[in-house]
A and B are shown apart, each in its own frame.
Chain A
Amino acid sequence: MRDPLSKTRKARDARDGYGFISLWLFGFFALTLIPLLFSFFLSFTDYDLLTPPVWSGLNNFKTMFTKDPRYWKSVFATFYYAIAAVPLRLVVALGVAMILNTNRRGVSLYRALYYAPSIVGSSVAVAVMWRQYFGTEGIFNALLRAVGIPSNISWTGDPRFAIWTLILLAAWQFGSPMLVFLSGLKQIPNELYESASIDGASGIRKFFRITLPLLSPVILFNLIMQMIHGLIVFTPALIITGGQPLDTTNFYALYLYRRGFETFEMGYASGMAWVLLVVIALFTFIIFKTSSQWVFYEAEKGR
């Protein structure tokens, strides 16, 4: 039955498909593409922002890879951050989402309270607030002293710990992945849990057999988004540590911003950005490739 129809069906799919994504396609070509290409070409130039760019070939990339020790430090800091912060944040977000996925009284208040820290994330006041936690005289040291550990460590100022305070900040602001998880959990039909309960399945078994597989599309989304987010992290380092101490929190995006806007090396900064794009694209590609092994789509089951 399909054979004679397949051609018209394909044509119809193409028509409908492009019809639905045409909105995005138009925006991409009209608004995004030109600035994107512009920054790509800039990466092969010396551009000080205030005078026209001068072609410099691969010079920016050579400097980056061979002559700039701070570049490698920022690469290290960024990976360190992403590798620690992304899983931590996702686990916390999933855990809290599951705890708050009940109909107990007061739970909507808790959701708001747990989401609140994510809202203040980019505000100017967050730096001041974070010092209340991790400053030399902050409450973290006060808590340590209260349980008998004498501590006057300057957490955000000590090269050993500064990056960890930013990682904790990321974990603290788990609001957006939590919300995505919550809506994902809402999509899982209750009947599945009920019938599993009748079969006598334990909570852990239900989590691994029902929750995780049915949540996997959303987990994939959160994983990729948080990874990208982790690798282009900018604001917390800018407003809390300013990249210090000793460049241990001088994340990639912060460093390229500084080279671009503080010392007028926009060509170099563009080069850095495109290297970053290639690396992130590679990671995303790998995650997508492996995702067929662990992501379960309700829509495509049995195919």
Chain B
Amino acid sequence: MVKKIGLLLISIFVLSSVAMAAGKSETAKPRKAEIKIIWWGSQTRHEGTIKVIELYKKTHPNVDITYEFSSWADYWTKVTTMAAGGQLPDVMQQDYARIAEWVKRGLHVQLDEYVTKKIIDTTNIEPSLIDTGRIDGKLWAINLGSNSHSMILDADMFKKAGIPLPPKDWTWEDFEKIALQLREKLGIYGYGVHMWNDQIWKAIYISRGEWIYAPDNKSIGYKDDTPFIQYLEMMKRLVKAGAMTPRQEEISQYAGGTQPEQTPIIFGKAAMQHQWSNQLSAVDKASGGKRNFVLYPLPRVKGGKSANYIKASQYFSVSSQSKFPEEAARFIGFFTNDIDANKILMAERGVPISSKVREALLPLLPPVQKEVFSFVEYISKTGSPCPPPDAPRHGELINNLYQPEVVDKVLFDIIDPVTAAKILRERGNAILSKN
């Protein structure tokens, strides 16, 4: 009885708030379309995006746009609460690791229709870049800038140590050898921080032509744990030899490796570090802008394919709670294709997907950005195809299992790599089986 009443009350509470938000449009139909846009980012991004919105308002007097922004850390608390209250903005910035979760819960509008109707014009966009926003063949989001994994190498350090830069198809064996040499010659960590993150786990299996999730997302997708075990063992060897920042130091000195500005490579304490390609600007600026960084693809497994692929650094998607999905889509189309808008944005979200926009921007870019553009260009020619988006419950798997129970326990010497791989497989499958 209590249970029934409680459930009833909750349902009324939740549903009516959602219904209320939806119902508003029918009672008082505003003549002017109103759309709201939300994104996360830093000051530069807020500034640029607001200017583009003002520009859009000038050329599209029939719509009124409101907006809000926050930091990455606060963004998800904010939009999750909004979604629960049925107040989700019309256009929202989305993230590669989370989009599947949101689509599964029916919070986004499918965009194929708007692409066919040319509301979002894709004439100048390579289909593979549009595909980065597809899940199960349907288009849910538009890529706002391309990105790829990279290994940032400090070329001056390599020169100082007398180590030649490796070939671009280098392997993990080459990588380990170089890290040890850097340690020996310069007394610094060869490699910086964040080696344990799940992107490397993915990269290793992509390089083997596999994927970490099964096609139905209900289990771990590969059979052989050996490459994962070898990777964990390599990290342990590197730490032991002083050629990679220990996890303890990474947490205490380098903010857990989560802020590109606060990493060993900035301080000249490491000469190699995994970052997303668009983060090169931040690394370059924080280190004073006078260093000689080059972007490299990730190492491959021996005899394997490229571990790199083109990924959306972030997306715009349209909320299913939107009253004006078409206007929302039109804005996304403008944001993607308009040359003037992109001259304001200056590829801050990653390399633009429209080839026309890229051409227009190229001569205006500072050297660091040129390096990023040419790197992404290189990957788009040599890289592997983009793997499927992360499975639903990917966040649960990484936050509740992979990081605290698997890699950390190995790096703090609580368990050995073989046990770790076993735990990841068993408990990972248990989490994924709920999908």
Chain A positions within 8 Å of B, measured between CB atoms, are 37-38, 41-42, 44-45, 48-53, 55, 57, 70, 127-128, 131, 134-138, 154-159, 162, 241-242, 244-247, 250, 258, 261-265
Contacts and interface: CB of A to CB of B under 8 A. Distances in A.
Interface stretch (B8-16, B119-127, B354-362): B8-16
A157 to B, nearest CB: 3
Contacts of B84: 49-50
A134 B252 contact: yes
Contacts of B11: 52-53
30 contacts: A37-B9, A38-B13, A41-B7, A49-B80, A49-B81, A49-B83, A51-B105, A52-B11, A53-B11, A57-B3, A70-B400, A70-B404, A128-B255, A131-B255, A134-B252, A136-B252, A138-B252, A154-B249, A156-B251, A157-B247, A157-B251, A157-B253, A158-B248, A242-B251, A244-B408, A245-B251, A245-B412, A261-B76, A262-B395, A264-B101
A8 to B, nearest CB: 42
B76 to A, nearest CB: 6
A155 B404 contact: no
Given A50-B107, A244-B256, A261-B80, A136 B408 contact: no
Interface residues of B, number: 43
Contacts of A134: 252
Contacts of B395: 262-264
B256 A262 contact: no
Nearest to A244: B251
A49 B7 CA distance: 15
B246 interface: yes
A-B CB proximity, top 9 nearest: A157-B251, A157-B252, A157-B248, A154-B252, A154-B248, A156-B252, A50-B105, A41-B6, A135-B253
A262 B250 CA distance: 23
Interface string B158-174: 00000000000000000
Given A50-B102, A134-B252, A264-B80, 12 more contacts: A38-B9, A49-B84, A50-B83, A51-B105, A128-B255, A135-B253, A157-B250, A157-B251, A242-B251, A242-B258, A245-B247, A245-B248
Contacts of B81: 49
A157 B80 CA distance: 31
A85 to B, nearest CB: 19
Nearest to B408: A246
B264 to A, nearest CB: 11
A192 B269 CA distance: 63
Interface of B: 3, 6-7, 9-11, 13-15, 76-77, 80-81, 83-84, 101-102, 105-107, 246-253, 255-256, 258, 262, 393, 395-396, 399-400, 404-405, 408-409, 412, 414
A247 B404 contact: yes
Contact of B3 (A38, A44, A138, A158): A44
Contact of A53 (B14, B252, B253): B14
Contact of A246 (B76, B255, B256, B414): B414
A262 B399 contact: yes
B253 A52 contact: no
A157 B253 CA distance: 8
A154 B251 contact: yes
Contact of A45 (B7, B77, B248, B253): B7
Contact of B10 (A51, A53, A159, A261): A53
A186 to B, nearest CB: 40
A44 B6 contact: yes
A238 B163 CA distance: 41
Given A135-B252, A242-B256, A52 B15 contact: yes
A147 to B, nearest CB: 21
A262 B403 CA distance: 14
Contact of A131 (B6, B246, B253, B414): B253
Contacts of A136: 248-249, 252-253
Contacts of B7: 41, 45, 53, 55
B251 A258 contact: no
A17 B250 CA distance: 57
Contacts of A55: 3, 7
Nearest to A55: B7
Contacts of B251: 154, 156-157, 162, 241-242, 244-245
A245 B105 contact: no
A52 B396 CA distance: 20
Nearest to B246: A154
A52 B85 CA distance: 11
A52 B14 contact: yes
Contact of B255 (A38, A49, A127, A137): A127
Contact of A41 (B9, B249, B258): B9
B408 A245 contact: yes
Contacts of A37: 9
B178 to A, nearest CB: 24
Contacts of B14: 52-53
B101 A159 contact: no
A14 to B, nearest CB: 32
Interface centre among B106, B393, B400, B414 (most CB of A within 10 A): B400
Nearest to B88: A50
A263 B10 contact: no
